[in-house]
Amino acid sequence: MDSIYIGGGRELKGSVLISGAKNAVLPMMAASLLADGTTTIENVPNLRDTITMASLLEVTGAEVNLDFPSLSVNTSTMDTPKAPYELVKTMRASFYVLGPLLSRFGEAKVSLPGGCAWGPRPVDFHLRALKKMGASIKLKEGYVLAKAPYLKGCSVRFDFPSVGATGNILMAATRARGTTTIENAAMEPEIEQLAEMLKLMGAQIEGIGTSYLTVHGVEHLKPITISVIPDRIEIGTFLIAGALMGKVTVKNSVPSQLTSLLEKLHSAGTQVDIDRESITASFTGRVNPVDLTTAVYPGFPTDLQAQWIAFMCLADGSSMLTDSVYHDRFSHVPELNRLGADIKTEHNTAFVRGVKKLKGAEVMSTDIRASASLIIAGLAAEGETLVSRIYHIDRGYENIVGKFQSLGAEIKRIKS
């Protein structure tokens, strides 16, 4: 298994071009199954997860042509409403195909995603809403067996604005009979792009970008061409690295999607310069400790919590970071402590006491964002760091090693 070698302590300087958003492209790829014909998606990031989703679409019989950064999906050959365990177990977002498959075939057999590195991640909201839309749902041998000759519009209210459940039900509702309303819907920019895509395909959706969506079902959706928005989590990752170690500009970013992060960076003493489509974060000689609690959009994203903790490890004082979205998402903490950090966790809060310096060590990557946090910490540490199990980072960051190299970091991939 490959690992990443980091020679820490180098200043980072320069600019990086941000790739398409992982969390936007995955549901968009699933949505392509709803169109009759060939959908083209541009600015597709070259990630293990996009390759997994492409394989999943192929299992359904769709003809998939993945030539990064372009992808086309022809659904005219689709004949198998199935998502097998071998693929779903590697990526929870595979569950996004349930809504589209059920809507197209009147039945679907999709593996349950199972647990993951940060505790149980249930799919009860997805299933409850589909039942309300008239589907019969059975769980058998680790699979969801869903059946509905047709889905019917209804009103759905999520207990929590789940990103995945909103996307799944939104897709299912586009071709349902009648009107579906989704209350307490997720408002993440990636869901907004999915809704915009469905609308371009001919879906009738009102309330895009709000927590209340209304979908009037239509008979058919048409194929379109669409380009994926930039990845706000990748943007945040590079800005935090710049705030700690130099001056980093992220190009093709959407500053309005990162307000919560930019405010926190400002409180941490980072100089933040915003241009129309680029953001620069510069280290100003001191990092102030800043507490935060993750929240759904537009709050501080849970997907940047691990990177923020790496940042706070070198702050001048103590900070408290609470994850209110995923209560058990702290697998990076023991690894950061191996690098000399001083972090304790209690329930869903990490208490970070800033240290003067971190020291390189061998660490293990445990999930996508935890890996990014270890890379940031390794780059800031004195000496050599080796991050193993980096297949996690390949799932969610396109060419992170090359991008950090272009900023002047001493970082390389070591093939095993």
Task: Note the residues at the interface with ligand UD1 (CB under 6 A).
Answer: 23, 26, 92-93, 121-126, 160, 162-165, 190, 302-303, 325-326
CA–CA gap between residue 11 and residue 370 (Å, rounded)? 22
Nearest approach, Cβ of 103 to ligand UD1 (angstroms)?
18
With beta carbons less than 8 A apart as the criterion, state whether 397 and 365 touch.
no
Q: Is the dihedral of CA 348, 160, 129, 57 positive or negative?
A: negative
Q: Which of 51, 54, 87, 116 is catalytic?
A: 116
C-alpha distances in angstroms, 44 versus 48, 200, 391? 12, 18, 19
Q: Is the dihedral of CA 197, 203, 209, 212 positive or negative?
A: negative
Extract the tokens encoding 37.
């014909």
Give the strand pairing for 225-227 and 3-7.
unpaired
With beta carbons less than 8 A apart as the criterion, state whether 362 and 326 touch.
no
Question: Which one, 99 or 164, has the nearer CB to ligand UD1?
Answer: 164
CA–CA gap between residue 242 and residue 121 (Å, rounded)? 32
Question: Which one, 360 or 396, has the nearer CB to ligand UD1?
Answer: 396
Maximum alpha-carbon separation in the chain: 63
Extract the tokens encoding 140.
């058998």
Which residue sits closest to ligand UD1, CB atoms considered? 164
Please confirm whether the linkage preceding 298 is cis (ω < 30° from 0): yes
Nearest approach, Cβ of 328 to ligand UD1 (angstroms)?
9
Nearest approach, Cβ of 92 to ligand UD1 (angstroms)?
5
Nearest approach, Cβ of 180 to ligand UD1 (angstroms)?
17
Give the strand pairing for 384-388 and 3-7.
antiparallel
Closest C-alpha among 25, 101, 24, 28 to residue 62? 101
Nearest approach, Cβ of 396 to ligand UD1 (angstroms)?
8
Question: Which one, 213 or 245, has the nearer CB to ligand UD1?
Answer: 213
C-alpha distances in angstroms, 67 versus 86, 93, 252, 317, 401? 23, 21, 21, 48, 21
Question: Which one, 115 or 402, has the nearer CB to ligand UD1?
Answer: 115
**The residue to which tokens 């933040």 are assigned:** 272
With beta carbons less than 8 A apart as the criterion, state whether 17 and 398 touch.
no
Question: Which one, 117 or 386, has the nearer CB to ligand UD1?
Answer: 117
Give the gyration radius of the chain's Cα atoms. 21
Question: Which one, 325 or 381, has the nearer CB to ligand UD1?
Answer: 325
Nearest approach, Cβ of 362 to ligand UD1 (angstroms)?
27
Amino acid at the residue 310: A
Q: Is 154 assigned a catalytic role?
A: no
CA–CA gap between residue 21 and residue 315 (Å, rounded)? 29
Nearest approach, Cβ of 65 to ligand UD1 (angstroms)?
23
Question: Which one, 177 or 327, has the nearer CB to ligand UD1?
Answer: 327
Enumerate the active-site residues.
116
